[in-house]
Chains A and B, each alone.
Chain A
Amino acid sequence: MGVSILALVYIIAAVTFIMGLKMMSNPASARKGNIVAGAGMVAAIFGTIFLYRNPDGSLLQNHIWIFSAIALGTLIGMYAAKKVKMTAMPEMVSLFNGLGGASATLISVIEFNHLAEQGFPADSSSSGTMAIIFAGVILGNITFSGSLIAWGKLSGKVKDFAFKGQHIINLILFAAALALSIFIVSDLQATTTTILFYIVFLLSMVYGIFFVLPIGGADMPVVISLLNSLSGLSAACGGFLYDNKVVFTGGILVGAAGTILTVLMCKAMNRSLLNVLIGSFGGNKKGAAAGEAGQYKEISLNDSAVVMSYANKVLIVPGYGLAVAQAQHACHELEKLLEAKGVQVKYAIHPVAGRMPGHMNVLLAEADVSYDKLLEMEQANDEFPTTDVVLILGANDVVNPAAKTDPGSPIYGMPILDVELAKNVVVNKRSMKPGYAGIENGLFYRPKTSMLFGDAKKVLQDLCGEIKNL
């Protein structure tokens, strides 16, 4: 009886995961979708604890251990999720993702020890099991170490790091881990099996580190999405090991969803995944840096206030600078002031502005900016020709004309916001330093462009003050 109830719980849970993802595709139902999937997960977890039966028919033991682990994990997870600032969201997702990967790795290690105790029975099913265990360890470890590096990089703790021939070394590391795994699986009786297992463990961990380290700047969202997909696959390995179809379904679902999301992001930047992984932005800064280092002109707060107050239409282009300065509320304030003066204000959102796709949408939504004021790239590009003032807040690479004109630029080919079609461009930046991808931006030296230096939040607040005083 218990087993059939559990089967039913698992089926419902699998359906909630799919429904959840489906509901996530519409802003109106997204929140409900998240809760539905969460409820399915909770049901499946408790079902597993109380109803799961081992192949020999016995129930699970060690309830005290299990519940204390869940309580501890819930406390930490809740605390971290409630505490994290909106700007640090991408790092947090990356960190959570890494922990999931570590969990999958640990399961594989325990199952390996389990098989080792039985002296590696030499039948085909245990070879298959072993292959899945290795896949779980390799995928889980890459997810774990890679996500930690991505987390460190986004929070500024780890710097870009690349050396000559790194790609070759990465390839060798990965090939070695793979070859060793195949060798071990094909001959389980070898005395070296256990040692080699831990060598594979280390190799995949190191591979994860070297895999993410050289990838810098604008490509980080793609990497996190890819690692997310890997963590799904490593979870699926766990599901396969226990013939647990809900874990398997959930894992594969995330693997497929993560992959398609990664591809969508690459498409938004007009690059192939291979190009992102091999031609890392962080590595070769020289090419484009030597460009036009001409004259730029500054604009005063007062002038900016006047220009914008008397415009018909203002488009705001937010970027990472807005997130860092936590300027979203000040930005909304400016929008309201301008609208009160009869100016039409909208936001132009580049798909990869910020550190993650949708980063800007989340941030602006937090400040109560209405949803229909956010234009996607294509819509925005249609509107620039009729726009009087474009206000760029801490965005850089997504408006860099080099992406269209300079084939030598690392971001060549990435679609950008054509802000130059507007009559005036006001750029708010902290200094003339190049953006996250380390590429000089010719836009700043164009005759239409004026620079408004300073921290985005402070500048916006002062701008609001000036507009009120007009």
Chain B
Amino acid sequence: MQSIFQWISVNEQMIYILILVIFLGFIVISRVPTVLHTPLMSHANAISGVVIMGAIIVMGRADADNYIALILGFLAVVLGTINVVGGFVVTDRMLEMFKKKK
């Protein structure tokens, strides 16, 4: 029990962010019209690629001879990049078609 309280006080900031961002996410999304649901899902998916920064940090920290970390990190960066780049490009392709017609 003691350790849980300690953990909460150490991570107080993160917990605040967690709670505020959850509400923010709910509010921002609940106004999106059905028309935009597919692009939105794809857009959100691209944002979830932020995890790539974790992968970059892992890789940048790895010792030059720690091949397991380097290879796994390399894979993580490649997959994360596909997620980010692919996600944003696919979303853009979908939205390109929503241009106002004259």
Q: Is the CB of B42 within 8 A of A89?
A: yes
Tell me, in angstroms, the Cα distance from A81 to B75 when the chains sit together. 19
Bound complex: CA A243 to CA B70 (Å):
21
Interface flag for A278 (CB, 8 Å)? no
Q: Enumerate chain B residues within 8 angstroms of A238, measured Cβ to Cβ.
A: 51, 53-55
A241 to B97, CA, bound (A): 39
User: What are the residues of chain A within 8 A of B46 when measuring CB–CB?
Assistant: 34, 37-38, 41, 96
Q: Which of A70, A357, A376 contacts B77, CB < 8 Å?
A: A70
Select from chain A the residue with minimum beta-carbon distance to B84. Answer: A41
Nearest CB of A to B87, in Å:
5
Shortest distance between the CB of A100 and any CB in chain B (Å): 4
Q: Is the CB of A30 within 8 A of B36?
A: yes
Residues of chain B within 8 A of A77, CB atoms compared: 81-87, 89
Task: Please provide the chain A residues from 253 to 280 with a CB less than 8 Å away from any CB of chain B in the complex.
Answer: 253-261, 264-265, 268
Kindly state the separation between the CA atoms of A246 and B80 in the bound complex, as whole angstroms.
15
How many residues on chain B are close to A (CB under 8 Å)? Answer: 83
Report B-chain residues with C-beta under 8 Å of the C-beta of A261: 29, 32, 37, 40-41, 44
The complex places the Cα of A361 from the Cα of B44 at a distance, in Å, of 18
How many whole Å from A366's CB to the nearest CB in chain B? 5
Measured CB to CB, the nearest residue on chain A to B50 is: A250
Chain A contacts of B37 at CB under 8 A? 261, 264-265, 351, 356-358
Given A228-B48, A256-B22, is A66 in contact with B35 using a C-beta cutoff of 8 Å? no
Contact B86 A81 (CB under 8 A): yes
Known: A62-B64, A78-B85. A365 touches B97 (CB 8 A): yes
Asked if B21 and A48 make an inter-chain contact with CB atoms under 8 angstroms apart, the answer reads no
- Interface 9-mer from A19-27, A189-197, A202-210: A19-27
Asked if residues B80 and A73 are in contact (CB atoms below 8 Å), the reply is yes
Asked, given contacts A49-B60, A248-B17, whether A30 binds B81 with beta carbons under 8 Å apart, the answer is no
Would you give the shortest CB distance from B55 to chain A, in whole angstroms? 6
* Cβ contacts under 8 Å, B48 to chain A: 97, 100, 228, 231-232, 235, 250-251, 254
Contacts of B32 in A (CB 8 A): 24-25, 261
B49 touches A41 (CB 8 A): yes
**Cβ distance A248 to chain B, nearest Cβ, rounded Å:** 6
B89 and A362 form a contact (CB under 8 A): no
Taking the closest CB of chain B, its distance from the CB of A31, in whole angstroms, is: 4
A-side interface mostly: helix
- Kindly state the separation between the CA atoms of A26 and B45 in the bound complex, as whole angstroms: 18
Contact with B along A51-93 (1 / 0, CB 8 A): 0101000011111011011101110111011101010011011
Q: Would A125 and B10 be within 8 Å (CB), given that A247-B53, A254-B44 are in contact?
A: yes
Interface set, chain B 60-102, CB cutoff 8 A to A: 60-62, 64, 68-70, 72-101
Question: Is A461 engaged at the interface, CB distance under 8 Å to the other chain?
Answer: no
Check A100–B26 contact: CB distance below 8 A.
Answer: no
Contact (Cβ within 8 A) B54 A239: yes
Asked if B58 contacts A111 (CB within 8 A), the reply is yes
- CB-based contact B29/A100 at 8 Å: no
* A97 close to B83 (CB less than 8 A): yes
Minimum CB–CB distance from A463 to chain B (whole Å) comes to 23
Contact of A24 among B39, B60, B80 (CB under 8 A): B39
A89-B11 in contact (CB<8A): no
Inter-chain contacts of A70 with B (CB < 8 A) = 77, 81
**Cross-interface CB contact of B25 among A106, A128, A252, cutoff 8 Å:** A252
Assess whether A343 is interfacial by the CB under 8 Å rule.
Answer: no
**Which residues from B are CB-within-8-Å of A259?**
25-26
Q: How far is the CB of B3 from chain A (nearest CB, A)?
A: 4
Chain B residue, CB-CB nearest to A236: B18
With a cutoff of 8 Å between Cβ atoms, the chain A residues found around residue B42 in the complex are: 89, 93, 96
B53 CB contact (under 8 Å) in A44, A93, A100: A44
> Which residues of A in the span 182-235 have a Cβ within 8 Å of any Cβ on B?
224-225, 228, 231-232, 234-235
* A170-178, A367-375, A442-450 - interface stretch: A367-375
Given A24-B36, A127-B3, A371-B100, does the pair A93, B85 have CB atoms closer than 8 Å?
no
Task: Please tell me if A45 contacts chain B, counting CB pairs below 8 Å.
Answer: yes
A102, A107, A245: which contacts B17 (Cβ < 8 A)? A245
Q: How far is the CB of B31 from chain A (nearest CB, A)?
A: 5
Q: Which residue numbers of B lie inside 8 Å of A, CB to CB?
A: 3, 6-7, 10-11, 14, 17-18, 21-26, 28-62, 64, 68-70, 72-101
Leading 7 A-B pairs by shortest Cβ distance:
A73-B81, A60-B60, A256-B25, A77-B85, A238-B54, A77-B86, A357-B37
- 18 CB contacts below 8 A, A to B, read A31-B92, A59-B60, A60-B60, A62-B70, A93-B45, A102-B76, A103-B49, A110-B62, A244-B54, A246-B50, A253-B44, A258-B41, A261-B44, A357-B34, A358-B36, A362-B38, A371-B35, A374-B35
**Which residues of chain A have a CB within 8 Å of any CB of chain B?**
17-18, 20-22, 24-25, 27-28, 30-31, 33-35, 37-38, 41, 44-45, 48-49, 52, 54, 59-63, 65-66, 68-70, 72-74, 76-78, 80-82, 84, 86, 89-90, 92-93, 96-97, 99-100, 102-104, 106-107, 109-111, 113-114, 124-125, 127-128, 224-225, 228, 231-232, 234-236, 238-261, 264-265, 268, 349, 351, 356-359, 361-362, 365-366, 368, 370-371, 374, 376
